Amino acid sequence: MSTRRSDLFLRRCRIRFSSYAADIRAATAVEFGLLLPVYFLLVFGIFEVGLALLFSLNLAMAANAGGEFLRKAAASQTTVTEAEFRRVIASNFLLGTTDEDMKITLVPIPDADFTAVPLTFPVENKFQTPDRSAGQYLLALGFNWRFILPTTRLLIPGGGKQPQLQNVSLAITAVRVTE
């Protein structure tokens, strides 16, 4: 008797819910609602990663321009001030920069020993005026940029609470020749 009741109950449930299972009018809306956030993350993520790569390439070009400026100043034996150096780097960068968003570190490399260079990440404003005693300098640029998506922070290395696009390059101003 109990099996007959359970069969009867299942048959009634199947009859009632079969109309809901056969109705597919809202299936498109449900799929759209489930996939729309993923689609937006992909579109904005691709856009933002493209911008980050563009700014990173532009940061490398600005570092090259800064190194070229240092080499020309060393060849003409003129002194380089922090304001001039910042102006040269800012003029070769895509966006307008200030002291707060563009961090520039220029430190000498003592005796070509890279491990002795006091470089911290995220990059901070630290400028040591180039002189004749050191021929190699480490130039580090950091651009503080607020990302739109939190997932981009996983792809771009940064430090601390503020994400930062970074470029570290070697600026050789003079070659010391010993015989």
- Listed by start position, the domains of the chain span 25-172
Contact, 77 vs 137, CB < 8 A? no
User: CA-CA distance, 164 to 102, in Å (whole number)?
Assistant: 9
Q: How far is CA 6 from each of CA 1, 3, 9, 12, 21, rounded to the nearest angstrom?
A: 9, 5, 5, 10, 21
Share of the chain above pLDDT 90, in %: 2
User: CA-CA distance, 6 to 175, in Å (whole number)?
Assistant: 92
User: CA-CA distance, 173 to 69, in Å (whole number)?
Assistant: 9
Secondary structure element (H or E) that encloses residue 100, with its range: none
pLDDT of 5 higher than 60: yes
CB atoms within 10 A of CB 7: 10
User: CA-CA distance, 151 to 44, in Å (whole number)?
Assistant: 10
Per-residue pLDDT of 87-144, as tens digits, reads 988 888 877 777 778 888 888 777 666 667 777 777 777 877 777 666 777 888 888 7
Per-residue pLDDT of 149-176, as tens digits, reads 666 666 665 555 666 666 665 555 544 4
DSSP assignment of 105-122: EEEE-GGG-GGG----SS
Cα dihedral angle (121, 124, 129, 131), rounded to 10 degrees? 0
Burial of 141 (0-12, 13-18, 19+ CB in 10 A): buried
Report the mean per-residue pLDDT for the chain: 75
